[in-house]
Amino acid sequence: MKPHEDSSLNIWKQKPLKLSCLTGFSPSTVTHQLSLITCHSSVVQWNMAVSSPKDKYFGVWLIFFLLGLGTLLPWNFFMTATMYFTSRLKDPPVDSSTNQTEAAGERRSVLEAKFNNVMTLCAMLPLLICTCLNSFLHTMISQRLRVMGSLLIIMFVFIITSVLVKVPLEPLTFFSVTMVKIIVINSFGAVLQGSLFGMAGLLPASYTTPIMSGQGLAGTFAAFAMICAIASGSELHDAAFGYFITACFVIFLSLLSYMLLPKLEFFQFYRDRNRKQRRDDDNSVNLMNKDSKEETAAQSGGQNVSMMKIFKKIWLLALSVCFTFTVTIGIYPAVTADTKSTLADGDSWDLYFTPVCCFLLFNLCDWGGRSLTAVCMWPQKDSVLLPVSIMCRLLFVPLFMLCNVQPRVLLPIFFHHDGFFIVFMIFFAFSNGYLASLCMCYGPKNVLPHEAETAGTIMAFFLSLGLALGAALSFVFRALV
């Protein structure tokens, strides 16, 4: 049977190579160039001969989904549990005029008032720094050590958090310990996230979607768990204990799923193909530069040149995902979590409004947006509509600031009804999930196959940069209200 023809084999249909065009090169150099052509041919033939196996029972897809869930679950569990954390930051019921701020009839301690902002900053700055380090060090530390080590440390922090629920601490001590834990889980969460997107870069573009979708579910899962804890009628501290133990269990499942991943044929195929391409590329470079000492010496800086070369191919997508999360984290949760219901009058809706309309609704719509890219990827990666749509999200900043955010000092309330806040949240969250997922899917596919893992880590870095910038801006946005 006649093999399927590929355009990359057209070289053999061209006229015979005239060695006169190589005048001025040494015989050994000519030999190396011909060897390079033969090497390239073998790579093409190997890629044609071996067809990609099927992802049986969507095993790899589900594992990436679970790993994506484990990546953002720790942060979301801390963020959604603000009711528990702030309840332990209240000042003693004595003369507290020296340590409390009062506005709009609401009295809060300084630690309570600043908790959301400081928590976001302590989460996003380490995330940015460690993602940056992971972008450069991912070739020096094995993928297995980065992923498994990060998951184990995060699980250990949650075990400590569960234990501390039962331990009485002074507000300032509790605040400090909580911030240290947030720094730790987000530092190792950054390493985990960068490694995960790097792995996804080796697979078809559709395998970035389960990571983004899993990350979206992390927030939904955390919000739903908190609502169940409130609905149980248990004391807040008892509910928080079960809440954090649940997180430990899910992280443990993520760890087990990663251990299973290398055993699946579908993942093995793309991992081995990438390794072969890297070896062939290295061999080709060695053959071409064997007689050139200058070029060989220049290879010492090749990694930096390669990193910049890859960034030039994906810079617009990288900046787009950065801007997306800058807007999102600038408003959520620092501003949105302080929005109060105007319909509740001391009833149960007052208790459920923030967990349901802020955290659960955001994460459900964000998850829906991320998951939609599995069936629809529009606009295209080269379309001007993608960056324009992302820029338009800036409108959500004034919209949320003009809702019933309490306490407030500067701005009037323009959108009184709860319905405005709910509609804004739906579009805000859905656009965040969908547009961010599009950028993360397009990024690694804008480069050569052997550059995909590095492109994935660069995209993860700019995602983290957006989170850090948003955390810094959250202080400004909240102060302007």
Query: Tens of pLDDT along 343-397?
Result: 977 778 888 899 999 999 999 999 899 889 888 899 988 899 999 999 999 999 9
pLDDT value of position 29: 40
pLDDT value of position 479: 92
Per-residue pLDDT band for 3 (boundaries 50, 70, 90) equals: very low
Per-residue pLDDT band for 448 (boundaries 50, 70, 90) equals: confident
CATH class of the structural domain 58-93+103-273+306-480: mainly alpha
Interatomic CA distance for residues 170 and 91, integer angstroms: 9
Which of these, 40, 1, 55, lies nearest to 270 by C-alpha position? 55
Q: Write phi, then psi, for 233 (nearest 5 degrees).
A: 80, 5
Per-residue pLDDT band for 83 (boundaries 50, 70, 90) equals: confident
CA distances from 302 to 280, 296, 449 (A): 17, 10, 18
pLDDT value of position 212: 82
CA distances from 232 to 226, 229, 239, 403 (A): 10, 5, 8, 30
pLDDT value of position 250: 92
pLDDT value of position 208: 85
pLDDT value of position 291: 52
Question: Distance from CA of residue 9 to its chain's centroid?
Answer: 39
In what helix (H) or strand (E) does residue 107 lie, and over which residues does it extend? strand 106-109
Task: Give pTM, 2 decimals.
Answer: 0.72
pLDDT value of position 226: 84
Task: Flag whether pLDDT at 102 surpasses 50.
Answer: no
pLDDT value of position 300: 43
pLDDT value of position 461: 85
Which of 88-92, 134-138, 242-246, 268-272 is least confident? Answer: 134-138
Mean pLDDT of the chain: 81
pLDDT value of position 28: 40
Q: Which residue has the higher pLDDT, 158 or 128?
A: 158
**Which stretch, 104-108, 232-236, 454-458, has highest mean pLDDT?**
454-458
Tokens 């039962």 correspond to 166
pLDDT value of position 9: 40
Question: Distance from CA of residue 452 to its chain's centroid?
Answer: 16
Q: Which residue has the higher pLDDT, 241 or 280?
A: 241
Q: What three-state secondary structure class fits 140?
A: coil
Q: In percent, how much of the chain has pLDDT > 70?
A: 81
pLDDT value of position 172: 93
Query: How large is the average pLDDT for residues 402-427?
Result: 95
Query: How large is the average pLDDT for residues 6-10?
Result: 41
Task: Flag whether pLDDT at 19 surpasses 70.
Answer: no
pLDDT value of position 374: 84
Q: What is the pLDDT of residues 233-254, one digit of tens each?
A: 777 788 888 889 989 999 999 9
Query: How large is the average pLDDT for residues 100-107?
Result: 49
Pure H helices in 11-95: 27-49, 59-80, 82-87
Task: Flag whether pLDDT at 40 surpasses 50.
Answer: no
pLDDT value of position 438: 94
In terms of Cβ atoms closer than 10 Å to its own Cβ (0-12, 13-18, 19+), residue 349 is middle
pLDDT value of position 410: 92
Task: Flag whether pLDDT at 324 surpasses 70.
Answer: yes
Interatomic CA distance for residues 462 and 258, integer angstroms: 25
